[in-house]
Each structure stands twice: as C-alpha cells, then as structure tokens.
Chain A
Amino acid sequence: MTALQTPESSGAVIPGVAASPGAALGPIFLYIPERTQASPDAPKRSSRSAEEERAALQQALAEASAELMTLSAQVGQQMSQDEAGIFEAQAMMLQDPTLSEPAEQLIQSEGLDAATAIARAAEEQARQLEALENEVLAARGADLRDALQRVLRLLHGAAAPDLAEQLAAQRAPVVLVARDLTPSDTARLRQEQVLGICTALGGPTAHAAILARALGIPAVTGVGEAALASLQNGVEVGLDGSRGEIYLTPSPDLRARLLNEMRQQQGDTKQRMTHAAAWRQRSGATADGHPILIAANIGSGGPEEARAAVQTWGAEGVGLLRTEFLLAERPTLPDEQEQYEQYKAIFHAFASQAPTGAPLVVRTLDAGADKPLPALEAVIGEMSEENPALGLRGIRIHLAYPDLLRIQIRALLRAAGAAGVALHLMFPMIATIDEWRQARAIFDAAWQALQQERVLLPAQVPVGIMVETPAAVLLAESLAREAAFFSIGTNDLTQYVLAADRLNGRLGALYNVLQPAVLRAIAQIVQGARAHGRPVAVCGEAAGDSNVAPLLVGLGVEELSMVPASIPLVKEALSRYSTERLVSLAASVLPLDTLEEVRSWLNAAMR
C-alpha cells in the first residue's frame, strides 16, 4: 500500500451512510463509467430505413434481455435470489411493450436511429419511476437505466471494459469510489480487489450496500455528488463503514487505527487462505498417519460452493449437504424433476473436483417451526408451534407426509446415478427405532421402484442417522445394528442434552459442547456404533473448532465435517497429535465432572 500524502493535520471527514461495517485504507479507484453515446437530448437521425432500425432495436432488446436472464441464473446460484430477481426484472423491462412501442414510434415518426429512440423512451420511463414516492420502487429507475446501457452497447457494437476487468487490471487492492453501482457492476466484484466501497448515491438498501455486506467489504454510501470532486483517482483515502465516514488525507493516528482494524478483519481470512494453500492437498490425519476424513458442510451456495469446498479449502468429501435451500424463498414445493436438476448440478460440481468415491452425505429435508418455509407450509399447514424445537420437525414431517420424503429420495438417487457420486443419505431428528425403520422402508421402496423403471442408480447408497436427540444416544447400540453410519449433529445434541435453547444468550455456559454430559453422550454414541462396526462422524460446529476437533477424534470420531473455511486449520490441528495421545486425552477428560475442569484439562493438554 502506498501512502501518497499524510500531512500532520487530519484531513476532512465526509459523512455518508454506514452501509457495511469495517475499515479500509487504500488508493482510490474512481469509477465513473462513460455513459454510452446516444443521449435522448441529442437526437440523431438515421440513415437507414425505419424498418431496419426497428429490426436492429428488436434484436438488441432480445439479446440484452437474454444476457440478463443468464446473469440472473448465475447470480441466483452464486449469490442471492434477491440480486437474481433484479436482473430478471431488468430482462422483463426490456421485453415490455411499454418501453419498445414508444421507441418504435419515434423511429417511425421522427426518423431517429434505434439507439436514440430507445434511450429517449427509457429515459421517459425511468423518470416516471424515479418520481415515485416509494424509495424502493424509485430505485428501479436506476435498474432501467442500467439495462438501457446494455442495449446501447449492443447497438453500438462497442465493448467497453466493465468494472470487473478494470479492477483486475489494478496492481493493488483499491477503495472503489463511484456515483452509484449498478447490479451489473456489483455482480462480479471481488473481495481481494476491493478494500472498501464509497458511493455518492444510495442508502443502506442500495445494491452496493447489500452486495458489500454479502461480500464482507466495508462500505459507505450516499456521500453526495459534490463529494466526488474531492476524491481523486490514486489518492489514499480512509473509510469507516461502521461509522459511515470517509477520511481525506487521514492523519497518522487515524491511518494506524484504520490499518489495525483492517488487519483484524483480514487476519482471520488471510490466515485461513494461507493455511488452505498449504493444506489443500494433504488429507486429514493424526501425527501417526491415522486417517480422519475432513469434509465440508454445504447447502445454500449451490454448485459453486461444492466446487470451492474441494478446490479452495481441500475438503475430502461433503459430510453434510443441507437440502433446505431447495425450499427457501419459494411459494411451492419443487417437483421431483426440479429437485433432480438442482441436486445434479451440485453433484456434478463436486465430482468435477473430488476424487472418485469421495463421500457426499445428504441430509433429507430438516425443516420445522424454528425455520418455517412457506413452500412447506403450503403442504402441511401453518408451522407455528408453542415449542418448535420439540415439535413437528425433521423426520417427523417426512413421516407425517411420506410423499415428501419419497420424492426427495427419488430425486437424490437419480441425480447421484447421473453424476456418479458416492451418495450417502441420512435422516435428521431420529428418536425411535420405528421412525428409522419407516424412513428406511420409504428409501427401500423408492430404490426398488427406480430399479424397476431401469433408472441408472449408484452401486450402493449407505443410509445413516443424524444423531441429535438424547433418545438416539440411549438407543445408539440398537440403531447401529440397522443404520450404516452415524453423524452427530453436536449443535442440536447439545441443546437437547442440556435442555438449553442455543439461541438463548441468558443460558450462557449451559449450551456448550464441552459440557461433561455432551462428551459422555458422544462417547456412548461411538460405543454403540463400534459394537456393529459403524463409522461415526461429527457435522456440528464442534467439528470445525480446531481446539475441540482433536478431542472428538480421541473419543473415536472418524470423520469431521465443517464450514469449508475451517478445514485447513482443523487438518493442521489434528496433525500435531498422535492417535494414542488423543485417545488418552479423551480417556482423561471423560470422567471429569464440570465444564471448567474439561476446559482447563484441554488447555493444559493441547498447549
């Protein structure tokens, strides 16, 4: 980072809206795109016939809206459905006769070229939208202008480099300063290239703000048009996204504070990335080479998340694929074919990076009143319960509505067959042998039906249980007789063993995976599984805690599944201890009676 000027006195502070928390200090990259020519105020007469201009316009509108639909699909998979919705709406605007008919009339009656005509028609519509009192709706005017730029670019055949390309050409990360950022601009911003974002327009709900928060980039919006004049390309600027302030020529003290905060923000990410590079290729193992499969928990990020888990973070499998993403933000349930397509995309992405045979464990739908889903409510009625954690959730919903499970299993099996992945299936919230047997019977029936339909199936699909309820702990030995594997959901297990709501901050230390009761429950699960030679995994947060993971291995857990970014640190932590040492550590910790004793023993032993 180059400090171009740091005078002794503190410079001016430009106030704005605190849009995304965090600090930034770096050179300004001023992004004021030249709007493509053809302003509505400077009409240009066409040398071509009206017929030719109309055809050119129709083609440009069709191409631009196709581009937007593609972008919408990409963004929907990679980022959020909200952002995807913006692009879809833009595509529809371009197809709207309310826009194209006036433009065609201008071509006909005034002999304008297509670009001028569409610019004038769009300007008229954008002004009308911007005149609305509703702020959110008024912002759609900017969406229309953005969509118009796409059409104009196509009409002029000019390919101006977009923001992402310009940023990629910078040698160091920058503070991005712009009048406003359009959805197209923001869709491909990258955290490594942008330290902070400052925009003249926009409040906390602007695209730039939403996206900055999603990417973890500090941002200040709404500093005003006038402020842009004092922000010059390449000059160092400070930004505090928590306070909503921009600092021109920051004082040495201020620079120190901003840099310090930046380091803290980035430290975590950087450390993880450095470790990731070093540990990506190595498989999880203790110091003496006893293998521990290190897998990723994924769910809402689609194929890209599955790919990155293996490619970037070095996951050796997926230990928990949550399937609730299928239902999020939608009014109706996806049918078997749609589920199949979605699973297949994720499975393919995983298979393209992971070695053949790498396990991919899918948890069947785990919904409940604690995480209500409109699409599910449409089937099972309103999901409001006095006591959601103990209510109709997980496998209980599936057994009450077996068709839901049957369709999901069919889609999963077909997708696994098509993508060639080593699918494992597990059921959440099992509390009785009967629940397990009923769910298993639905699986067997689906399998047989697909065989009869001559659908390509995987060679075998191990079916297991997610152990979360105290009942399943007590029944572990009996369940292990029939289930192919256990995966311990330590979050819910802790909550149920301690009868402590994990979201209730007032319960403090009660909700803790290191509570002796939870550790002994884990030991009992392992014991039950071992009686029948079944493997045990942990897929709760504890697995990704590099201080707790070694203890879990000592307790007999053979697979750990976690948020992808934790994988390198956990691999490193495990490599420090021999299996023997971890087993003896666990043996010493298990008899301890209090959380405090467990903690201090761990601290001493793992130093």
Chain B
Amino acid sequence: MASAETTLTLLNKVGLHARPASKFVQTAARFSSTITVVCGARQANAKSILQVLGLGAGGGAEVTLQADGADAEAAIAALQQLIEERFGESE
C-alpha cells in the first residue's frame, strides 16, 4: 500500500466553506485511497463534506493531507492542485 502526505496553506479567502468543500470532497471521492485531512487538532475524512466543513478551516489555515491506498500519490496531487488553484475562486 502506497501512502503520501503533504502540508499546504489554504490560499482562498474563505477557506473550506460550502463551494470549495464540495469541490474538495468531489475530487477526493474520485480516488480509492483513504484520505484524511488534518487541520490543527481536528481531522476529517476527505470524502465527507460534513467532516471537512467541521474542520473549521478558514482562509490562511494550514492543512495536512494524508492518503493511503493504491492511488495515494495521484489523490494528493489532485487535491493539492485544487487548493493551489484556490478552488477556482477569484478570492
């Protein structure tokens, strides 16, 4: 089993709120790996929108993505790209 991990800062203004969280969860759901998001003391299953929203990760927050499974690296790369592109939001 492959595993991958990366730590990033949320660049968009509002962080993981409704629309970015939807995109994040939809992206995570494309992969078979187990994906966990850690923000401060909280952690969430990246495929659950309620858990991802529950991280309370606002703009500027630092999050760590951990993936375990066959497509772990691809999953991390896709999520990383989404975050770096600010979820396609202008702010």
Contacts and interface: CB of A to CB of B under 8 A. Distances in A.
A134 B56 contact: yes
Interface residues of A, number: 30
Contacts of B15: 134, 136-137
Contacts of B51: 96, 98
Contact of B88 (A89, A140, A329): A329
B45 interface: yes
A378 B57 CA distance: 26
A88 B19 CA distance: 8
Interface string B47-84: 01111011011100000000000000000000000100
Contacts of A140: 17-18, 53
Nearest to B89: A329
B37 interface: no
B18 A125 contact: no
Contacts of B45: 98
Contact of B50 (A99, A133, A332): A99
A12 B73 CA distance: 63
A96 B88 contact: no
A92 B22 contact: yes
A153 B14 CA distance: 32
A594 interface: no
Contacts of B22: 85, 88-89, 92
B35 interface: no
B90 A143 contact: no
A331 B85 contact: yes
Interface in B1-37: 14-19, 21-22, 25-26
Given A88-B22, A89-B19, A132-B56, A96 B89 contact: no
Interface string A119-132: 00000010011001
Contact of A89 (B21, B54, B85): B21
A411 interface: no
A330 interface: yes
A98 B15 CA distance: 21
Contact of A129 (B14, B19, B54, B88): B54
A552 B48 CA distance: 59
A92 B49 contact: yes
A165 interface: no
A81 B90 CA distance: 12
Interface string A66-92: 000000000000000110011011001
B50 A144 contact: yes
A375 B85 CA distance: 10
Interface residues of B, number: 27
Contacts of B17: 134, 136-137, 140
Nearest to A372: B90
Contacts of A125: 50, 54
A97 interface: yes
Interface of A is mostly: helix
B18 to A, nearest CB: 4
Nearest to B90: A329
Nearest to A374: B88
A82 B19 contact: yes
Contacts of A331: 82, 85, 87-88
Contacts of A137: 15-17, 53, 56-58
Contacts of A92: 22, 25-26, 49
A134 B88 contact: no
Contacts of B18: 85-86, 89, 140, 143
A99 B54 CA distance: 12
B50 A374 contact: no
Nearest to B86: A374
A86 to B, nearest CB: 5
A93 interface: yes
A374 B48 contact: no
Nearest to B88: A331
B19 A85 contact: yes
B60 to A, nearest CB: 11
A438 to B, nearest CB: 31
Contacts of A132: 54, 56
Nearest to A132: B56
Interface in A134-161: 134, 136-137, 140, 143-144
B48 A98 contact: yes
Nearest to A128: B54
Interface string A343-381: 000000000000000000000000000000011001000
Contacts of B56: 132-134, 137
A172 B53 CA distance: 41
Contacts of B49: 89, 92-93, 96
Q: Which of B51, B56, B58 has the most CB of A within 10 A?
A: B56
A92 B16 CA distance: 14
B39 to A, nearest CB: 11
B11 to A, nearest CB: 12
A143 B25 CA distance: 17
A92 B14 CA distance: 19
A134 B49 CA distance: 16
A364 B65 CA distance: 40
Given A85-B19, A136-B58, A97 B48 contact: yes
A487 to B, nearest CB: 29
A378 B54 CA distance: 31
Contacts of B16: 137
Nearest to A378: B85
Nearest to A373: B90
B90 A129 contact: no
Q: Which of B21, B45, B53, B87 has the most CB of A within 10 A?
A: B53
Given A86-B18, A98-B50, 5 more contacts: A93-B49, A98-B45, A137-B53, A329-B89, A331-B82
22 contacts: A85-B19, A85-B22, A86-B19, A88-B19, A88-B22, A89-B18, A89-B21, A89-B53, A92-B22, A92-B25, A96-B48, A96-B51, A98-B45, A125-B54, A129-B50, A133-B56, A134-B17, A137-B15, A137-B53, A140-B17, A331-B82, A378-B85
> Which 10 pairs show the lowest CB-CB distances between chains A and B?
A85-B19, A331-B88, A132-B56, A89-B18, A134-B58, A98-B48, A98-B50, A92-B49, A89-B22, A331-B85
